[in-house]
Chains A and B, each alone.
Chain A
Amino acid sequence: AQSVTQLDSHVSVSEGTPVLLRCNYSSSYSPSLFWYVQHPNKGLQLLLKYTSAATLVKGINGFEAEFKKSETSFHLTKPSAHMSDAAEYFCVVTAGSGAGSYQLTFGKGTKLSVIP
């Protein structure tokens, strides 16, 4: 079994300040973890993924996430928020990695607002 908890349903930051979106996971197997972003009225875009390689994962648009097994966390960060970062972000887990992976389990999402 696997599950994802996004600890904040809504985060608001000022432009130019750091972003932290928190995610905790539970998995019976070694997990693969993803962050997806969805801009208003758009589809899903992959930001980054962890698949048992380096624990600090760098993604697109300056985002990164650190896999912490001891804390079962995979928080998403960005040093400086931009107005274009305003969107909904989903933390996602799947059991195993590579060809053994199964379906994705999504968190409920965190809406990020960026204040000018």
Chain B
Amino acid sequence: DADVTQTPRNRITKTGKRIMLECSQTKGHDRMYWYRQDPGLGLRLIYYSFDVKDINKGEISDGYSVSRQAQAKFSLSLESAIPNQTALYFCATSGGTGGNYGYTFGSGTRLTVV
């Protein structure tokens, strides 16, 4: 099984619909992140969480919300999807110490809003 699992892998939804993207991890890390990728823009941080009770906005949080249901689960919601939220979304975790500090990414969720 993958260390970071994102569901769904692909989703097409209509403008105005609410949608949730889910992420679960088996790394045992405290820190989790949501990024979106757009062509030519790299990955930009939406939200991050350092533990279950610590959630922070990233660079582009408008139009998104998150929920950290447990150490291993971090979901991203679009309350009312709009076409410019069409993107590839990545969940990531981080942890470890010193030279072993590392980040692990999920395989991504491709979201299309029509």
Contact = CB atoms under 8 A, between A and B. Distances in A.
Contact of B99 (A44, A51, A105): A51
Given A44-B90, A44-B105, A106 B42 contact: yes
B71 interface: no
Interface stretch (A13-21, A66-74, A75-83, A95-103): A95-103
Given A43-B108, A103-B33, A9 B40 contact: yes
Given A43-B107, A43-B108, A103-B33, A90 B102 contact: no
Interface residues of B, number: 24
Interface stretch (B43-51, B61-69, B73-81): B43-51
A33 to B, nearest CB: 12
Interface in A44-72: 44, 46, 49, 51, 53
Contact of B45 (A90, A98, A104): A104
Contact of A90 (B43, B48, B92): B43
A9 B33 CA distance: 26
A58 B108 CA distance: 27
A31 interface: no
Nearest to B106: A43
Interface of A: 9, 32, 34, 42-44, 46, 49, 51, 53, 90, 97-99, 101-109
Complex A-B, nearest 10 residue pairs according to Cβ-Cβ distance, in ascending order: A106-B42, A106-B43, A43-B107, A108-B42, A44-B105, A98-B98, A103-B45, A103-B48, A98-B101, A109-B42
